[in-house]
Structure 1
Amino acid sequence: MMVHGATGGARKATNVTPPVDVYERAKSLGINFSRTCEQALREAIKAEEGRRWAEEHAEFIRHTNEWVEEHGLPLAQYRMF
């Protein structure tokens, strides 16, 4: 079932099954489960996408780093710091 949330866009209802101690501690502290899960998922997605991008472009990154080590930064003479 999709519903619209306060943050805009379609939402997807799902079940999350945390360990009892985690559930009870979070509930006692007034932590919003949906918001916290969403934030954690967004961070995990960003990290995984970054990891995959770096893996996919590892050869280019390695060649670029080798070139900079050998020749220095392009336009370095114009740096103001």
Structure 2
Amino acid sequence: MTELYNTAAPKKATNLSINSDLLRKTRELNINLSATLEQALREELSKRKATQWVEENRTAIQRYNDFVEQHGCFGDEFREFYC
């Protein structure tokens, strides 16, 4: 499976605007802003890439589902359990 992004890429300083009260409260709790933002962005990127993959493969997925509905799954005759 390919990586979502290059984890070895250098860090880059970025200016952000954030709610001042939220910033104050996170700093009071010593929350690492960079690490927290990176984690949130990784999760969002992963979610959106998964959605993008489903959209790009919707036709193939539907064709496969139609095939299985019509013909069954490969190896069904060898399966020893039943649903």
- Same fold by TM-score greater than 0.5: yes
2:39 maps to: 39
Percentage of matched positions with identical amino acids: 37
1:28 maps to: 28
State the distance in 2 between where 1:17 and 1:74 align.
54
Which structure 2 residue ranges, 5 or more long, are not aligned?
A: 1-6
Q: TM-score, normalised by structure 2?
A: 0.74
Q: After the TM superposition, which segments of 4 or more aligned residues of structure 1 sit over 6 Å from their partners? A: none
Q: TM-score, normalised by structure 1?
A: 0.75
Count how many residue pairs are aligned between Structure 1 and Structure 2.
Answer: 75
RMSD: 2.0
**Higher relative contact order (Cα pairs below 8 Å, separated by 6+ residues):** 2
Aligned AA (1:26): T
